[in-house]
Amino acid sequence: MFERILLPTDGTESMDAVVETAADIAVQRDAEVHVLYVIDDRAFLTLQDEMKTEVVAELEGEGEAAVDRAATRLREAGIDVTTAIREGDPAEQILGYSDEVSVDLITMGTRRGDYTNNLMGSVSQKVVARADVPVLTTNLAVEE
């Protein structure tokens, strides 16, 4: 049933739980995992063009590190991995990539947000609401 799993990552250490979940499912199902990092370009609206180039380059470096971190763990478990970096609205890019590569499952993290995040809607909420495939979310909130 699950042959291709999409794992969007933001590169934070808290994503380790999501990577472990994806790895567990992929090993059991002999599935491949696509690791995706999205550079959120909505933050660039107020930047001057010359600054945008620098910021994008820095974020691309962070994206490479993020997908490499997840891909390394998955490959250590014997899983076939494809990595990608996209730029745009994160939810839109996740949904678009999901359609492009015909994934069967999206597994991603979610955080308990403050009230503004709940009002505006998080990336995971948008993906869950609009995805054509099952979405498995893992709470990334750290209890204090």
Full domain range(s) for residue 112: 4-139
Let me know if residue 72 belongs to a domain.
Answer: yes
Q: Are 16 and 62 in contact (CB under 8 A)?
A: no
Q: CB of 56 within 8 A of CB of 48?
A: no
Q: Look up residue 59 and give its two tokens.
A: 């974020």
The 8-class DSSP code of residue 139 comes to E
Position 121 confidence tier, pLDDT thresholds 50, 70, 90: low
Residue 38 DSSP label: E
CATH number of the domain enclosing 66: 3.40.50.620
Asked, for residue 69, whether it belongs to a domain, the answer is: yes
Both tokens of 76, joined, read 């250590």
Say how far apart CA 59 and CA 115 lie, in whole Å.
27
52 within a domain of the structure (yes/no): yes
- Number of domains the chain is built from: 1
* Mean pLDDT (whole number) for 107-115: 74
129-to-89, 121, 124, 138 alpha-carbon distances in Å: 16, 10, 8, 16
| Residue 44 located in a structural domain | yes
Please tell me whether the overall predicted TM-score, pTM, comes out greater than 0.85 for this model.
yes
What one-letter code names the amino acid at 85? I
d(CA 54, CA 72): 27
Let me know if residue 14 belongs to a domain: yes
Q: pLDDT of 20-56, one tens digit each?
A: 999 999 999 999 999 999 999 877 777 777 788 788 8
In this structure, is residue 124 part of a structural domain?
yes
Give the containing element (helix H, strand E) for 26: helix 16-29
Does 104 reside within a domain? yes
For the cut 80, the answer to whether the pLDDT of residue 19 exceeds it is yes
Residue 144 lies in a domain: no
Nearest to 25 by CA among 138, 120, 143: 138
